[in-house]
Structure 1
């Protein structure tokens, strides 16, 4: 999972955007946020969300899902088609149905057009907040640390005030009703939504700083709970239980999050040594790895691989363990298996490419180029992939292509001057009329405008 959990250390404006907006009291606006990228966690969330997006007649591929490392029970939508979910919400849930209930509600806001009704000035603030947040994410991924996966972005700028984009009670009720429809269309019960609302309802009595931030912009009225209770009581022909496969994917996701985000001691207490379940062994393997104890970590993950040899995420974790402990040559085989068994998932492919580049051979550079070209085609916002692709091209003496890749990288992290230099160099040296030259020309013009705007705003 070297490509999975990536550290971010940049300034972004605090995410006060449509849907949930404020993440706590004003004093909390200076605390840090963490964006997490992980192929398995993202895949699990997508499996839960996709049927709901389809039920709402939304294109699942048009909605970006972002995971924020924060203990708060929170989620929000912003920038039109961005869904942000806090790890605190995931880890406070009891089953995948509760996560589905939250996503269904947030999908109700998107499908209901609530974001477009907020007003021009607020929309501009929202767009700026989202753009700044995602730029922060790109910068952090570009810097990608091997550090057991913490992704930290510092919240500093206060571009919007607490509650600025709070939804009205009417919009909340509308999102509830739409969410219930989407759940039923997907063949799912609204019980998970009800259970989540009940969790929030218990927090209404808490003082402000201890309340879930979800409540600050999603007012939880008792009548909302009663409405969903009545719906659940009358449900027929929908499932209130996750399938064994869905439950296992959920349990593994929670075990992985706890293994990476909780202190190892807490992980060992939650997943005791005599618990031989797959999620428990997974969590303990990660906790041992975080303690640099490969003597315990590797046997655990290799035992899981022996039982499930086609699971890409177990192979990925073994590769990350080996790579980050200086055993680069050994890491390539499990990383390669992870890429093959995940159908070349971009995040996993970037991990393999980085290991290949570290080996320093011409054959490795060639393989890394192919992996990174495919990864950037699927995930153009992965700044790490562009940076590594520039390195791979450069070491293969493909300098115009290296310049274009580095232009993409620098544009994503907001280094406009360097991005323009690299884009101009690529445009001047790539074949006339080639797709690469046309992209370089477009990119040069784009970064020139961005640089001028940045200077004008100083």
Structure 2
């Protein structure tokens, strides 16, 4: 069925082949979690003089505690860190520290390490995987480093103790400038301090790539003790968002038995009910899942993510027509969040209602206006354009999809088909020409190599 083309849940699990991640890790895309992390990070990035739109944050589905920056202004955070962080301030502290590495230019050391072949491989993997996440697929990036070459990874991503201290100092300054306590960063480092006596294999990856010293912990403790913000807490709404984020992540990444143990029926909080609804849904128990979701929607009718989850459950269980109304509501409430618009378009296509195709196309155009490299959007658009009888647009969309997924031969084939069907001189026709040139086997070769010297 069409809905099996990609794995779509309220959380998008962008699975990587086992050859890429030996431990079967994957990336996660979810509007609610991404928005929560954006709220955490934006004031810190601004305090550091960085454009929040220029820093990309990626979520790795990995239970270990880790976060790192690489490949430019790209911040990677493990789900294990988000699940273990008890407060928003702890995540903010880690973000501030990692921002210290970016602002301090510590990534410039990469240029020296690029002389090493393994470093080149690692950097290409980081960039490739980042492209895959942005595209909504993992197979865009094809290198195999982060999971399989652990030693090279640690060497490449490891910072010196001097750089770590510098990032700490920058991080607390950014937090203070943003009006956020550094207590969370201190608590995070104190948690890691207890692992120093463990064998390397038992330590969290964060400690292995970010050397911890007593002096660093002492610095943070002294800074917090003398800070006017030491007892300050962020907006209570962020605490609620944090609890919901953790509940959602836990339910999506654990077996239902574990979820019901951590979030038992006696837990009547919204986070507890949210986790149980997801657990039942993932266990194919649709009736109890829908009962909880409907209760959550009744309690918070303006919550886009509850409406999104309802639509997702209905879609996954073959009720695409019924899924469309809650997903339309979710799109409205989220102010057109791309991933939710993509999900709505998916439901409209799945409904097999030809009258719904223009609406589906409109939503996909909205997705591509924000995320032009979203391969799923191009794949769905190719289907819609074909059903609408727009053969040229269908071929061009398929060419875009093939180009993004690395199939240059298919991209050229479909671009040539688009060239024949589109009106010459139009923007879409010109784009087909661009793809044809980009996939030319001779493209990129040194045209002057045979010229006489």
Asked if these proteins are the same fold (TM beyond 0.5), I'd say yes
Select which of 124, 134, 142 maps to 1:128. Answer: 124
Q: Is 1:177 matched with 2:184?
A: no
Q: Given that residues 259 and 283 in structure 1 are in contact (C-alpha distance below 8 angstroms), is that contact kept between their aligned partners in structure 2?
A: yes
Residue 136 (structure 1) shift: 4.9
Structure-2 separation of matches of 1:114 and 1:83: 14
In the alignment, which residue of structure 2 is the partner of 1:341?
Answer: 333
Matches within 5 A, 1:124-163: 124-134=120-130, 136-137=132-133, 141=137, 155-156=147-148, 160-163=152-155
1:8-407 to 2 correspondences below 5 Å: 8-10=15-17, 13=20, 30-122=22-114, 124-134=120-130, 136-137=132-133, 141=137, 155-156=147-148, 160-237=152-229, 240-407=232-399
Rg comparison, structure with higher value: 2
Which SS does the other structure have where 1:85 is aligned?
strand
Paired with 1:370 and 1:139, the residues of 2 have a C-alpha distance of: 19
Deviations 1:90-132 (A, max 9, x none): 0111101000000001111111111123325527444312133
Residues 304-325 of structure 1: CA distance to partner in whole angstroms, max 9, x if unpaired?
1001111000000001111111
- CA deviation vs aligned residue, 1:53-99 (integer Å, no higher than 9, x gap): 11111111111111111111001111101111000000111101000
Larger relative contact order (Cα-Cα within 8 Å, sequence gap ≥ 6): 1
Query: Mind listing any 5+ residue stretches in structure 1 that lack a counterpart?
Result: 15-29, 144-152, 454-458
Is the 8 Å Cα contact of residues 198 and 225 (structure 1) preserved in structure 2? yes
- SS in structure 2 opposite 1:32? coil
Residue 162 of structure 1, CA deviation: 3.4
Q: 1-side partners of 2:319 and 2:146: how far apart?
A: 32
Q: Could you list the runs of 5+ residues in structure 2 that have no partner in the other structure? A: 1-7, 140-144, 446-453
Q: CA deviation at 1:12?
A: 6.4
Separation of aligned partners in 2, 1:77 and 1:55:
18
Q: Cα gap change, 1:161/1:328 in structure 2, threshold over 3 Å: closer, same or farther?
A: closer
State how far apart, in whole Å, the 2-side matches of 1:406 and 1:201 are: 51
Which whole-Å CA distance do the structure 2 matches of 1:387 and 1:3 have between them?
19
**TM-score normalised to the size of structure 1?**
0.88
1:292 Cα offset (Å): 0.8
For 1:429 and 1:157, how far apart are their aligned partners in 2?
47
Whole-angstrom CA distance in 2 between matches of 1:109 and 1:409: 35
Distance 1:129 1:373 in 2: 29
341-350 or 2-11, larger mean C-alpha shift: 2-11
Q: Secondary structure at the match of 2:332?
A: helix
Deviation at 1:428, TM superposition (A): 4.4
Match of 1:408 among 389, 400, 410: 400
> 1:420, CA displacement in angstroms?
1.9
Which range moves more in the overlay, 178-187 or 429-438?
Answer: 429-438
Cα separation, 2, equivalents of 1:73 and 1:449: 44
SS in 1 for 2:75: strand
Preserved contact between residue 255 and residue 283 of structure 1 (Cα < 8 Å): yes
| Structure 1 residues 414 and 100: alpha-carbon distance in aligned structure 2, compared to 1, 3 A threshold | same
Q: Deviations over 1:134-173 (max 9, x none)?
A: 3554787389xxxxxxxxx994578945323321111111
Q: CA deviation at 1:251?
A: 0.5
Give the 3 Å change call, closer, same or farther, for CA 158–444 of structure 1 in structure 2: farther
Q: What CA distance in whole angstroms lies between the structure 1 residues aligned with 2:325 and 2:41?
A: 32
Change in CA separation of 1:57 and 1:161 when aligned onto 2, cut-off 3 Å: closer
Q: Deviations over 1:251-296 (max 9, x none)?
A: 1000100111111111111111121111011001111111111121
Task: Please tell me whether the aligned partners of residues 134 and 371 of structure 2 are also in contact (alpha carbons under 8 angstroms).
Answer: no
RMSD over aligned Cα atoms = 2.4
Aligned CA distance change for structure 1 residues 235 and 449 (closer, same or farther; 3 Å): farther
- CA–CA separation in structure 1 for the residues paired with 2:151 and 2:233: 42
Q: Distance in 2 between matches of 1:3 and 1:261?
A: 12
Q: 2:4 is matched with which residue?
A: none
